Structure 1
Amino acid sequence: MISTKNIHNNETILENELSYRNLFNTIEDAIYIQDEEGIFLDVNNGAIKMYGYIREEFIGQGPDFLSAPGKNNFELIKQKLDDAFNGIPQQMEFWGKKKDGTVFLKDVKLYQGIYFGKNVIIAHAQDITKRKKEEEKMQAALAEKNVLLKEVHHRVKNNLQAMIYLIEMQIEKLDDKKVQIFLRELQEQARTMSLVYEQLYQSDYLAKVDMDEYLTNLISNVIQAFSLDKNINFKVNAHNVSLDVEIAMPCGLIINELLTNSLKYAFPEEFEETPALDVELSYESKKITILVSDNGIGLPHNFDWENTDSLGLKLVNFWVKYQLAGSIKLDIKSGTNYIINFTYDR
Structure 2
Amino acid sequence: MKRSKPNRIKISRETAFATVLGVFIAIIIFTLWLLARNSENNRIRAMTIVTTEQMKSRLESWVNARISVIQHLGGKWYFEYRDKPEKFAIDVKKFIDLYPGFRAINWVDENFIIRRIVPVKGNEAALNKNLLRHPSPGFAAAIQKAALTKKLTRTPAAELLQGGVGFATYFPIYNSENKLVGFINGVFMIDNLVNRCFNEKSLRGKFCFFIYEHDGRLIYSHPPDAEKIEDKFREEISLSIADKNWKLVVSPSTSILNPGYYRANFVILFWGFLFAFITGYILQFALKSRRNIKKSETRFQAFMTHLPAGVFIKNRDGYFTFANQFLINNFGADRWLNKPPESLKNDSFAAPFLYKSTSADGFETIEEEITLPDKGGTEHIYHVMQFPIQLDETTSITGGIVWDVTQRSIAEMELQHSIKEKELLLKEIHHRVKNNLQVIMSLLYLQAERLTDSKTAEIFQLNRNRIRSMALVHERLYKSKNFARIDFREYIKTILHELVSSYSQTTQIIPHVQADEIYVEIDRGISLGLLLNEIVTNALKHAFQNQNKGNLYVTAILDDEENNVTLSIRDDGVGLPDNIDVNKTDSLGFSLIHTLIDQIQGTLKIKREQGTEFLITFAID
TM-score range, shorter chain: 0.7 to 0.9
5+ unaligned residues in a row in structure 2: which ranges?
1-292
1:43 aligns with 2:323: yes
- More moved, 260-269 vs 37-46: 37-46
Q: Write the mapping of 1:1-346 to structure 2, written as runs, cut at 5 A.
A: 21-25=301-305, 27-36=307-316, 39-49=319-329, 51-57=330-336, 60=339, 61=341, 78=356, 86=362, 88-113=364-389, 119-269=396-546, 271=547, 273-280=549-556, 282=558, 284-285=560-561, 286-301=563-578, 303-321=580-598, 323-345=599-621
**Does the Cα contact within 8 Å between 2:362 and 2:396 map onto a contact in 1?**
no
How far does residue 123 in structure 1 lie from its aligned partner after superposition? Answer: 1.9
Secondary structure of 1:185's aligned partner: helix
Taking the aligned partners of 1:165 and 1:94, their CA distance within structure 2 comes to: 58
- Give CA-to-partner distance per residue, 1:49-88, whole Å, 9 cap, x none: 4x3424234654579956799xx8x9xx74xx66997374
**Does the Cα contact within 8 Å between 2:512 and 2:551 map onto a contact in 1?**
no
How far does residue 211 in structure 1 lie from its aligned partner after superposition? Answer: 1.9
State the AA in 1 paired with 2:490: E
**Does the Cα contact within 8 Å between 1:232 and 1:277 map onto a contact in 2?**
no
Query: Please, what is the CA RMSD of the aligned residues?
Result: 3.6
**Does the Cα contact within 8 Å between 1:326 and 1:343 map onto a contact in 2?**
yes
**Does the Cα contact within 8 Å between 2:507 and 2:549 map onto a contact in 1?**
no
Q: In structure 2, do the counterparts of structure 1 residues 35 and 97 end up closer, same or farther at CA, with 3 Å as the change threshold?
A: farther
Secondary structure of 2:545's aligned partner: coil
Q: In structure 2, do the counterparts of structure 1 residues 34 and 279 end up closer, same or farther at CA, with 3 Å as the change threshold?
A: same
**Does the Cα contact within 8 Å between 1:90 and 1:110 map onto a contact in 2?**
yes
How far does residue 311 in structure 1 lie from its aligned partner after superposition? Answer: 0.8
**Does the Cα contact within 8 Å between 1:38 and 1:63 map onto a contact in 2?**
no
**Does the Cα contact within 8 Å between 1:154 and 1:197 map onto a contact in 2?**
yes
- Give CA-to-partner distance per residue, 1:85-137, whole Å, 9 cap, x none: 73744544344443333332233344332579952122223222211211211
Taking the aligned partners of 1:64 and 1:330, their CA distance within structure 2 comes to: 83
Secondary structure of 2:388's aligned partner: strand
How far does residue 193 in structure 1 lie from its aligned partner after superposition? Answer: 1.0
Q: In structure 2, do the counterparts of structure 1 residues 25 and 256 end up closer, same or farther at CA, with 3 Å as the change threshold?
A: same
State the AA in 1 paired with 2:471: S
Identical amino acids, percent of aligned pairs? 28
Secondary structure of 1:267's aligned partner: coil
Taking the aligned partners of 2:534 and 2:345, their CA distance within structure 1 comes to: 67
Secondary structure of 1:107's aligned partner: strand
Q: In structure 2, do the counterparts of structure 1 residues 59 and 192 end up closer, same or farther at CA, with 3 Å as the change threshold?
A: farther
State the AA in 2 paired with 1:33: I
**Does the Cα contact within 8 Å between 2:437 and 2:471 map onto a contact in 1?**
yes
Q: In structure 2, do the counterparts of structure 1 residues 280 and 56 end up closer, same or farther at CA, with 3 Å as the change threshold?
A: same
State the AA in 2 paired with 1:330: I
- Give CA-to-partner distance per residue, 1:243-283, whole Å, 9 cap, x none: 221221111111111111111111112x3553333242536
- More moved, 276-285 vs 172-181: 276-285
**TM-score relative to the length of structure 2:** 0.47
Taking the aligned partners of 1:295 and 1:182, their CA distance within structure 2 comes to: 25
Taking the aligned partners of 1:37 and 1:294, their CA distance within structure 2 comes to: 79
- More moved, 230-239 vs 258-267: 230-239
**Does the Cα contact within 8 Å between 2:552 and 2:572 map onto a contact in 1?**
yes
Taking the aligned partners of 1:179 and 1:302, their CA distance within structure 2 comes to: 26
- More moved, 85-94 vs 228-237: 85-94
Taking the aligned partners of 1:88 and 1:249, their CA distance within structure 2 comes to: 51
5+ unaligned residues in a row in structure 1: which ranges?
1-12
State the AA in 1 paired with 2:453: D
- What is the aligned length? 326
Who wins on radius of gyration, i.e. which is larger? 2
- More moved, 24-33 vs 123-132: 24-33
Secondary structure of 1:305's aligned partner: coil
Compare relative contact order (CA 8 Å, sep 6+) and give the higher one, 1 or 2.
1
